[in-house]
Amino acid sequence: MSQIFKLKKLHMTLFMFNLLLALWMAGGVNFRFYEQVAQFGSYQGLAQFLFLLVTFFIIGGLYLLVLQLFSWQRTAKFVAIFFIVLTAGCSYFVNQLGIDITKEQIQNVAQTDVNEAMDLLSVPLFIHLLQFLVIPAVVVLMIDIKAKPLKSILYQKLLTIITALFLIGVGLFSFYGQYAPIFREHRELKGQISPFNVISNGIGYVTGQFKRGKQPLVPFGTDAHRIGTHTPKVVLLIVGETTRAQNFGLNGYARNTTPELSALNVINFKQVSSCGTQTSVSVPCMFSGMPRKSYDEDLASHREGLLDIAQRAGYQVTWIDNNSGCKGACDRIKSYISPKDDPAYKTSCVNGECYDEVLLDALNTYFDQLDIKNLKQDQLIVLHQIGSHGPAYYKRYPKAYEQFKPVCQTNNIQDCNHDQLINTYDNTVLYTDHIVASTIQRLKKLDIASSLYYVSDHGESTGESGMYLHGAPYLIAPKEQTHVPMVMWFSDQWPKKSQYVACLQQQANDAISHDHLFPTMLSLLQIQTQVLNPKLDLLNHCQGI
């Protein structure tokens, strides 16, 4: 057997080994990138072919430079396997799901939980990994790199680097008129070149995390205090997940995906845009008090936010989570509840994943512990949904809410036809409607002043323009990922309810965003502080409130 194995060995020099690996990394695994470059370029026919060929050799030359610096005879195979793993892993999501690998996507991966990660596993992913990871890795292991004197290796590496730099320069100069506008106007293309995308953005993410770890907490809104006549109240904020406004029945969608909310006296805002296109950006942003255009992720990570201010002003702040955490927004509050990790709520969970009904169960338990009639401390409660999180949409709702059929009963959503995919996604919206409406019904039973504010963190692409899921760079993100639903509701006991409803209803068709959440919530909570921007407070121009 060992003799047969030896016969299969491939013998080559270190230079040839690195060259073939560089060309492989620059090649077919990046076909979406080349499709995009061809689309954005102005060439056709033979000129386009030559342009793409030069682009291929430029990328291959850059990879060869890296390999010649870091890949040596004893480390070559380890380096090769490392690059193969990265290339195979990220190229699937880039090519099959239309996801650009950015620093924010790296952050998503770092902050996800096991259940979310498992939802990404599929048969096509395994087939892809077999083709682009297992087989190339086996080939690498079968190669025997010929030994050469160190002096000869150094000379060859130096010559290769000089030659590669020269040819890269010639290629860039020859087509500079194409490359300059393409990459200036479509910077997202860098997120499609594997494994450059995951390496460069991974380094950026790790560097940023390292810097944040050393930064002290920055106080914010230290002058916060309650104003006005005190009325015992419960304010509930629901942070939705991956629900887009286009499929929200209250916004005029062809299907009635919000039948329960439609029967309630809610204020629906139709033109709401998100702060980001993924949870790890949107959630910290909306609680930070910083508008999207001036949002500083680094500062937000170590500065107090909305919940800190509410807690300082005297509210009992509670976060109930059925997602992958609060992304730093609730790090300093006293009450954090994770019902999905509590065996007491397992009836709402299947195989470690919980329907959002678990939030209602936990909320009921929490209310049962309060003396509502003699409420000593006003309550601000945040429910964080799993909502419409993909790609396993079919796991996000119980069978009773599978109203639209046939459905896409797989996480390999790009292989489902569009009707099946939309049916499944709409079922998740129908279930979110039930969760929000049921929460309102529960607040009604408290028989005290209460209000509810629901807004989704970001939207979702379901195959439009070949894009799936979310996380596209904001500047080029489609409206499906940035246009989100938002509703508000007030109990009959809420002071001056009619004025609140009338005032907010007048703004229901205005263009607003996550930027309005921070100041509007503080206004609802009757908290005054210098950090409240009145221009973004939806209640600022309401008379008599």
Q: Residues 304-363: pLDDT tens digits? A: 999 999 999 999 999 999 998 999 999 999 999 999 888 888 888 887 789 999 999 999
Angstrom distance (rounded) from CA 381 to CA 414: 37
Compare 1 and 47 and report the one with higher pLDDT: 47
> Cβ distance 322 to 234 under 8 Å?
no
Q: What mean pLDDT is predicted for residues 503-528?
A: 96
CA angle 415, 421, 424 (to 5 degrees): 135
Q: Which helix (H) or strand (E) segment is 434 a member of?
A: helix 418-446
Q: Please tell me the pTM assigned to this model.
A: 0.81
Residue 6 pLDDT > 70, yes or no? no
Identify the pLDDT of residue 322.
Answer: 96
Phi-psi region of 537 (alpha: psi -120 to 50; beta: other; left: phi over 0): beta
Per-residue confidence at 114, pLDDT binned at 50, 70, 90? confident
Q: Where do we find the tokens 């002003």? A: 313
CA angle 313, 507, 317 (to 5 degrees): 20
For the beta carbon of residue 249, count every other beta carbon within 10 angstroms. 21
Compare 357 and 177 and report the one with higher pLDDT: 357
Identify the pLDDT of residue 251.
Answer: 98
pLDDT tens, 262-292?
A: 999 999 999 999 999 999 999 999 999 999 9
Nearest to 306 by CA among 330, 282, 326: 330
CA angle 382, 383, 384 (to 5 degrees): 115
- Which tokens is 219 given? 């106080």
Identify the pLDDT of residue 473.
Answer: 87
Angstrom distance (rounded) from CA 79 to CA 74: 10
- Which tokens is 221 given? 């809104």
Identify the pLDDT of residue 66.
Answer: 93
Identify the pLDDT of residue 111.
Answer: 75
Q: Give start and end residues of each alpha helix (H) in 41-149.
A: 45-70, 76-97, 103-111, 114-118, 123-129, 135-141
Q: What mean pLDDT is predicted for residues 40-56?
A: 91
> Cβ distance 271 to 512 under 8 Å?
yes
Beta strands in 463-507 (DSSP E): 468-469, 483-490
Q: What mean pLDDT is predicted for residues 115-128?
A: 83
Identify the pLDDT of residue 2.
Answer: 46
% of the chain beyond a pLDDT of 90? 68
The CA-atom distances, in angstroms, between 65 and each of 55, 57, 70, 226, 447 are: 15, 12, 9, 62, 70
Q: Which helix (H) or strand (E) segment is 285 a member of?
A: helix 279-288
pLDDT tens, 27-36?
A: 878 989 999 8
Identify the pLDDT of residue 453.
Answer: 98
Q: What mean pLDDT is predicted for residues 39-62?
A: 91
Angstrom distance (rounded) from CA 287 to CA 300: 9
Per-residue confidence at 43, pLDDT binned at 50, 70, 90? confident
Q: Which domains does the chain have, with CATH numbers?
A: 2-211 (no CATH), 225-536 (3.40.720.10)
Identify the pLDDT of residue 213.
Answer: 65
Identify the pLDDT of residue 243.
Answer: 98
Identify the pLDDT of residue 41.
Answer: 85
